[in-house]
Amino acid sequence: MADEDIETAVQRALEDRPERNFTESVDLAINLRDLDLNDPSNRIDQSIVLPEGTGQDTQVVVFADGETAVRAEDAADEVYGPDELEDLADDEDEAKDIAAETDFFVAEQEFMQDIGRYLGTVLGPRGKMPTPLAPDDDVVEEVTRLRDSVQMRSGDRRTFHALVGSEEMSADEIADNIDVIVRRLHADLEKGPMNVDTVYVKTTMGPAVEVA
C-alpha cells in the first residue's frame, strides 16, 4: 500500500484537473540532482510493471514465426513475420509510423539480428528495440506483462516524465503505481533518494502537485 501522502497528492491532482472531453493520463514529473547525465551509466532507462496497470491502451507488436506467431495473434496488436520485416526494411516511413504508434516490441531471438540491421536506425534512437523472446519464453505472458508496463527514460535531462495511470483510475491505484516507480528509482540511483530533487504528479492538462 502506498504512503498516504502520495495518495493525498494524487487526489488533489485529480480534483484540480479541468474538465476535458477526453480521458487524461496521469504522469509523474521527476527532477533529478547531483548526477552527471552526460554519462550514460547514470541515466534512467528501464521498463517497470505497474501493479495496477497503466489505464491506457498499450500497443504491443511481436516479430515471430511459426507456432509463436500463431500464439501471439490473440495477444499482440500486430504480429510480423520475416516477409513483413523485409517490407518494413524497404519502407522507412511505414517503419517510423509503426515505431511511433507502438509502445513495446517483442521479437523471437532469431529475428533480432535482422531487426538490428533493418530497423535499428528507427527503433534504436526511440528506445524501442524489441524485448528478445527465448525459445522457452511464453509470448502471451510477455505481451500481457508489457501491457501493464511503462518505460521510464531520463536521457540526458534532469527532468523527465513517467506514465502512472489515467484519470479513470482511483487515487489509491495510481498511488500504488507511483510507489513502485519511486522505490525503483531510489534503488537504481547512485545515492538513492538523495539524487531525487522533486517529484510531481499531474494529469495531462491539470496542475502539478508535489508528491511528498
The confidence score (pLDDT) of residue 89 equals 87
Do 143 and 91 have their domain in common?
A: yes
The grid coordinates listed for 33 are 540532482
Three-class DSSP category at 157: coil
The arithmetic mean of pLDDT across residues 103-118, rounded, is 95
Closest CA to 181 of 204, 144, 150, 148: 150
Question: Would the pLDDT of 212 be above 80?
Answer: no
Do 41 and 77 have their domain in common?
A: no
Q: How confident is the model over 158-181, as pLDDT tens digits?
A: 999 999 999 999 999 999 999 999
CATH number for the domain including 181? Answer: 3.30.190.20
The model scores a pTM over 0.85: no
Pairing of strands 78-80, 60-63: parallel
Do 106 and 141 have their domain in common?
A: yes
The arithmetic mean of pLDDT across residues 59-67, rounded, is 96
**What residues make up the domain containing 120?**
60-147
The arithmetic mean of pLDDT across residues 123-147, rounded, is 93
Domain boundary among 147, 163, 194: 147
Do 64 and 143 have their domain in common?
A: yes
Do 141 and 160 have their domain in common?
A: no
- Nearby residues of 128 by Cβ (< 8 Å), 6 or more positions away: 99, 102, 104, 105
Distance CA 108, CA 87 (A): 18
Closest CA to 199 of 174, 172, 178, 168: 178
Distance CA 202, CA 16 (A): 9
Q: How many residues does the chain have?
A: 212
Ranking 19-23, 79-83, 93-97, 119-123 by mean pLDDT, the lowest is 19-23
The confidence score (pLDDT) of residue 101 equals 94
Strands of the sheet containing 159-166, edge to edge, are 159-166, 25-32, 196-203, 209-210
CATH number for the domain including 122? Answer: 3.40.50.790
Q: How confident is the model over 187-211, as pLDDT tens digits?
A: 999 999 999 999 999 999 899 999 9
The arithmetic mean of pLDDT across residues 47-76, rounded, is 94
Closest CA to 19 of 205, 207, 208, 197: 205
Do 64 and 140 have their domain in common?
A: yes
Domain boundary among 147, 169, 188: 147
Categorize the per-residue pLDDT at 145 as very low, low, confident or very high, splitting at 50, 70 and 90: very high
Mean pLDDT for all residues in the chain: 92
